[in-house]
Amino acid sequence: MLAHAADYVLLYPDPRQRSRELSATGHGYWPVAVGVAAALGAALLVLVAVRGSRRRAVAMPSMGRIAALQMGIFTAVEVVERASVGVSPLPFLHSAQLAVGLGLQVVAAAACIFLLSRVERAARRVADLLRPRVPASPRARSWPLLLDAHAVVSRRGTPAAPRGPPLPART
């Protein structure tokens, strides 16, 4: 949504001219779309923060994938906007609006990846700080052997001799 808006601000710096262009090309739904995009963006930030705090080993999508997805959505939305108000989308497909808009989608994708990776990293650091630390033992320990712990007791409750070959006789 930010790249979409930036496209029109760059190409139509005069607010009155921009407003006329947006009206003529089917952007009447824009306030609702901005609200939905803001809510989805906030939800995404929360999900990424939760994922970071849980140390999930899930790879972030590549910038190329996100850019390609955003470019496709941008183009489709612009075509549908124009078609919905009876304007042919063909001139748009050869316009500066499309070229600038596609370039801005790549920039927006890079910014999203950067922001999301920083949020995830920050959440991981906070979680690491909040997790209780187990103090390290001053010396290495090993599991005790059965005979090391206590004397072996027979089934009758009396001390039993350890099992194994007899010791050599002393002379």
Each residue of 53-82: pLDDT tens digit?
A: 887 656 777 889 999 999 999 999 999 999
104 lies in some domain: yes
39 lies in some domain: yes
- Number of structural domains (the chain) is 1
109 lies in some domain: yes
Q: Is 105 in contact with 38 (CB distance < 8 Å)?
A: no
pLDDT digits (tens), the chain, 171 positions: 889 889 989 999 999 998 898 888 888 888 898 899 999 999 989 988 888 888 765 677 788 999 999 999 999 999 999 999 999 999 999 999 999 999 999 999 999 999 988 998 898 888 888 887 766 666 666 665 555 445 555 555 555 555 666 667 666
Each residue of 110-130: pLDDT tens digit?
A: 999 999 889 988 988 888 888
Q: CB 24: neighbour CB atoms within 10 A?
A: 11
117 lies in some domain: yes
154 lies in some domain: no
138 lies in some domain: no
Domain limits at 68? 2-130
- Position 10 scores a pLDDT of 92
83 lies in some domain: yes
Q: For the chain, how are helix, strand and coil distributed in percent, rounded to 5?
A: 65, 0, 35
150 lies in some domain: no
